[in-house]
Structure formats: structure tokens, C-alpha cells
Amino acid sequence: MTNTNAGDEAVAEGLYRSINANRIGDYIKEPLEEMMTPLLRGGEVSPLESMDIAQVLIFIHIDLLGYLCSASASASDSVVNAVKFLRQYLGRVDEKYAKVGGLLYHLLRHGWIHRFTPKRLKLNNGTILDFQYSLDTNRERHLKMVEIQGAKKLLISLSLLYNDLLSAIESFAKDIRNNQDMSDVFRRAFEMRREPEEEKRLRVRYNQDLDFIYGLLNQG
């Protein structure tokens, strides 16, 4: 006798996996493309400024995707999760990300978010590592060392980095569509994104700010 309950449950799980996979396109990939396309196409924003903004958008999305892979929003886990996504999913597109993704995240993401400029790296041999950016789509030159006016620089194609991120997003969506555990983690993380913060966790650091909010609430 056919177990209809088990069959119905499998159909429902498959539907939810499909819904979650589609959310990645609707809420992450498509909005990212809408923001990035005019930047890389050129026009109203200067080429240098557009490349700066493109990097910020790319690494913000890597942060988000790392969170959606884990459902952990703690500050201590966010870096680990983002680097894991970068190594795993962008690494499927180009294995060089699996090898150097952590350093890229630290120098580029942290630099842009906290200082609005990428960090540089001083190696133990005294070499100062900096970056050179291009929109070239030559895969062989991407993430390769070049020498410019006597300085060693890691060449990054922002066009490839962006396109590789899009491919990584599609790969992540495919995994969610086919893996129930990943789908469940994604759904939990997606729904928790705007989970309210507890006042008691913020009171010590933002006491006067919370008093201000209470004052506004009590005015009415």
C-alpha cells in the first residue's frame, strides 16, 4: 500500500526547497544585477568610483550569503561564514578563490567597509602587496601577480569577480533546491534577518539612545 503521507510530505518539502531557491534570485541575485550593471557599463559614475562601489556591493553580498548558509548572525561567526562561502562557492568557479579567498576578504572587505579603501599587506620579506583592478575578462590574468613601476600587485578583474559571484549564487540556489538541510537553514536565516534586537543587550552600550526612544514614545 502506498504511503501517501510520506509522498505528500516529500512533495511539500520539494516545494519549499524550490521556493527558497527562487528567493535567492528574487531577493539577492536580481537586485544585485540591477545595481551592478550600470556601474560596470559606465556612464554617470566615473570608472574609478564605479569600481570602488562595485567592490563594496560584492563583499556586502558575500557577507549576506555567508550568513544565509549558516543562520548565525553573531559577529564572531560572520567572518568565518563569509570566507567559507567565498572559498566554497566562488572556488567552484575558479579554484584560486579557495586558496586566497580569506585574504581577499580580510584586505578588501574590511578595508572598504571600515576605511573606505582596500588594505595592503606587508609580508615578512618586506614586500608590500597591493592590488591592481581591471574590467578585463582574461581568466589567466585574474588573481595573478603583476609588477607595475617596480611594485608587486595582485591583479583582480572586477568583471570576473562579479560574474563569479553570480555563478556562486546560482550554485548555492541549486544546492538549496536539492538539499533539505540547506533549505531549512536558509529559510531560518532568511526569516531571522530582521529579528528584533533585545533592549537588555543594547542598554549598556546605548543607554542614552534608548532613553531618547522612550522619550519619543511617551510624547504621544
**Residue 139 belongs to a domain:** no
Q: Convert the pLDDT of each residue in 14-43 to its tens digit.
A: 888 999 999 999 999 999 999 998 888 765
DSSP-derived letter for residue 197 is: P
pTM above 0.85? yes
Among 164, 170, 163, 139, smallest CA distance to 37 is for: 163
Q: 45 pLDDT exceeds 60?
A: no
Each residue of 136-189: pLDDT tens digit?
899 999 999 998 888 889 999 999 999 999 999 999 999 999 999 999 999 999
Let me know if residue 22 belongs to a domain. Answer: yes
Query: What range defines the domain where residue 58 resides?
Result: 4-117+159-194
Specify if 123 maps to a domain: no
Asked whether residue 106 is assigned to any structural domain, the reply reads yes
Residue 96 domain-assigned?
yes
The verdict on residue 125 lying in a domain is: no
User: How many domains does one find in the chain?
Assistant: 1
